[in-house]
Amino acid sequence: MTIADMLWSGWGDPAAAAPLPDAVTGLLRDLLGVRTGDARPPVSRPALEDVAPPPARLDYDAFAALTAIVGVGNVQTDAEARVRHTRGKSTPDLLRMRAGDAAAAPDAVVLPGSHDEVSAVLRRCAERGIAVVPFGGGTSVVGGLAPDAGERPFVALDLRRMDALLDLDEESRTAVLQPGLRAPAAEALLRERGYTLGHFPQSYEWASIGGFAAARSSGQASAGYGRFDEMVVGLTAATPQGDLDLGRAPRSAAGPDLRQLVLGSEGAFGVITSVTVRVRPLPAGAAYEGWRFPTFAAGAAALRRIAQDGPRPSVLRLSDEAETAIGLADPAAIGSALAGGAGCLAVIGFEGTPEEIDAARGLAAARLAAAGGEPLGAEPGDRWEHGRFNAPYLRDALLDVGAFVETLETAAFWSKIPALYAAVRDALTDTLGGAGTPPLVMCHISHVYETGASLYFTVVSAQGADDPVAHWAKAKHAANDAILAAGGTISHHHGVGSDHRDWYAREIGPLGADVLRAVKDRLDPAGVLNPGILVPPAPKE
């Protein structure tokens, strides 16, 4: 299967992009002070062929050694391959790429075709002091693809050649998948056999199986299917010191579960070369519907009741007042008559046979109505379902007209959600407003548990005039501080990367950071695996 490359300076397929409606550009101008149209200085974005990465530091001997492992043509040093593997897809990443800044480009792109080739590449790179960054779909939004390699060369280890469904155990309902499988291809292979992962994050169209595992991804149907790390029952990983083969039973009391050490490790402890995942039969059907609640607090209380007492739907999400009014739950409808409205929009989705769906919807409706919800019918749910992967394209369109837009997310126990929600909103509003770019801050709950939920914020403002990246960094740091102070986790599903690393160290404490460094030293003593990512540096004496 041929794997398409994403737009190097934006999201996804350029053919899927759409310009902003006039109503949206007017809103940006009038509400947020974004200079649009004739009031905005023209911005010229470079063509890919005009972006020049720094001279490659990989010498001929290293190039030949890696080629001997993965084969001729599978070590790429041309400018286009290097630029396409530069950074991820956070807004700061995109702003740098739009400015033609490819300073963080890898020195080469290496494409292994098997677990043994990955193991050999890691050993050879460790011997030569070459840093290695695993690369799946390139969708990181937390600085996970720009290592702190110092003066050492580094390579992007692109896993796209490892894209097979290796095994399907229909009796146990497990599948063994290679890490380079893009999510749509994995889903297609499973659906041919009548199964599904049920994992559909917003990055679904471009993300990879290995990336889901390495970052503890969570999909939009997590209420019914769980997070990706909950689906993983086994995995293999290659490290410079040897291989890990973990998971021979669904649960075990044989010591700490080392699978959990690799899941979420973001390439800092090794490279995941296969995952054994739980799969489920394809549902007979699905139904989505909308509900309106008078306040975000009322809607959150209703979601908590469903999460704790059932019936558990496949999709359960709630937009706050700002997100509902703008219509962000349905990006295709922003600026149209379909967007807007008072209160808070909840979307709920059920899967199964018609009888199962009807039974679950009936019980859920009674509980949602008792919590103050107003049924809106199928239309809002269907609009969300049809446009649920469009938001990243909206970001590109907003950047094109001079706005700044970024997301951040966290999670906490239910009792802490109200204070966490207020603290992050206040931190963003105060910091950006104080810097002369008052923001629109929107939020939704999209992942729920019996004990708590996630909060996903979208921030839109004018760009900082001099340095938009530094301008945002101050607000992001303030929001990170607020998350920890309010009892939230620094990341629910985006991961740690370099952007969250220092706050992650505060979250786990000095001893926890020491444990991570000890694991890193044992598995990667040369420090070549994604340096600067996830693992906090040792304190300076």
Torsions phi, psi for 355 (to 5 deg):
-70, -40
Q: Which two tokens stand for residue 308?
A: 């704790």
Tell me: the pLDDT tens digits for 214-263?
A: 999 999 999 999 999 999 999 999 999 999 999 999 999 999 999 999 99
- CA–CA dist 404, 249 (Å, integer): 47
Q: According to CATH, where is 3.30.70.3450 located in the chain? A: 286-389
Could you write out the DSSP letters of every residue in 430-496? HHHHHTT-PPEEEEEE--B-SSEEEEEEEEEEEPPSS-HHHHHHHHHHHHHHHHHHTT-BS-SSS--
Residues in contact with 145: Cβ distance below 8 Å, sequence separation at least 6, in sequence order: 85, 86, 87, 88, 133, 135, 138, 156
Residue ranges, comma separated, of all CATH 3.30.465.10 domains in the chain are: 165-281
- The gap between the terminal CA atoms of the chain, to the nearest Å, is 52
CATH number of the structural domain 286-389 = 3.30.70.3450
Query: 208-222: per-residue pLDDT in tens?
Result: 999 999 999 999 999
In whole angstroms, give the CA distance from residue 523 to residue 239.
6
Helix (H, G, I), strand (E, B) or coil at 294: coil
CA distance 422 to 72: 55
Contact between 445 and 300 under an 8 Å Cβ cutoff? The reply is yes
The architecture in CATH of the region 165-281 reads 2-Layer Sandwich (3.30)
pTM: 0.95
Q: Exposed, middle or buried, 150 (CB in 10 Å: 0-12/13-18/19+)?
A: exposed
| pLDDT score of 1 | 36
pLDDT, position 337: 45
In the chain, ranges of CATH 3.30.43.10 domains: 45-158
CATH (one of 3.40.920.10, 2.40.370.10, 3.30.43.10, 3.30.470.20) for 45-158:
3.30.43.10
The Cα–Cα gap between 436 and 400 comes to 20
Run of H or E residues at 286: strand 286-293
| Segments of the chain with pLDDT less than 70 | 1-3, 37-44, 330-341
Q: Quote the pLDDT of residue 338.
A: 45
